[in-house]
């Protein structure tokens, strides 16, 4: 079997299901990948080591985590520092867009019941 390199979605280039190159499409592509949002979420409070991140994501396998971290670093949303992986300023900013996600999710939960 042949290796397939995981394409990094970047604004300005066509992504899955869209040839426009619009930044929002790159963002939607990136965020639609498994674990991306979760990783950002887990880093919201403080930096975490590779292994701590793994734990936080329910023992996520290292190969997948490493892949995602590569994508997040390429996207300049996460970055590796002395105390582990941390959100960049950009990443923190993106996460604020979702700041009320918890609140909304609670409401959603009630509506579904």
Partner DNA sequence: TTTCTTGCTACTAAAAACGTAGCAAAAGGA
Partner DNA sequence: TCCTTTTGCTACGTTTTTAGTAGCAAGAAA
Contact footprint for a copy of itself (CB under 8 A) = 10-12, 16-19, 22-24, 26-29, 31-38, 41, 57-58, 60, 75-76, 90, 93-94, 97-98, 100-102, 104-106, 108-109, 111-113
Answer yes or no: are the C-beta atoms of 48 and 65 closer than 8 Å.
no
Separation between Cα atoms, residue 49 and residue 71, nearest integer Å? 17
Which runs of consecutive H residues, i.e. helices, occur in the chain?
23-31, 36-42, 50-56, 62-74, 89-96, 101-112
Report if residue 64 touches DNA, rule: CB under 7 A: yes
User: Which residues in this chain contact DNA in the complex, by CB under 7 A?
Assistant: 2, 4, 6-7, 16-17, 33-35, 49-52, 59-64, 66-67, 69, 80, 84
């Amino acid at each position: 079997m042949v290796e397939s390199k995981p394409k990094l979605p970047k604004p300005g280039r066509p992504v899955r299901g869209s040839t426009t190159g619009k930044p929002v499409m790159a963002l939607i592509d990136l965020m639609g990948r498994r674990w991306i949002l979760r990783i950002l979420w887990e880093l919201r409070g403080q930096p975490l080591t590779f292994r701590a991140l793994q734990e936080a994501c329910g023992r996520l396998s290292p190969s997948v985590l490493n892949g995602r971290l590569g994508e997040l670093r390429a996207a300049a949303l996460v970055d590796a520092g002395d105390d582990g992986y941390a959100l960049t300023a950009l990443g923190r900013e993106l996460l604020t867009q979702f700041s009320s996600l918890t609140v909304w999710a609670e409401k959603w939960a009630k509506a579904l019941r």
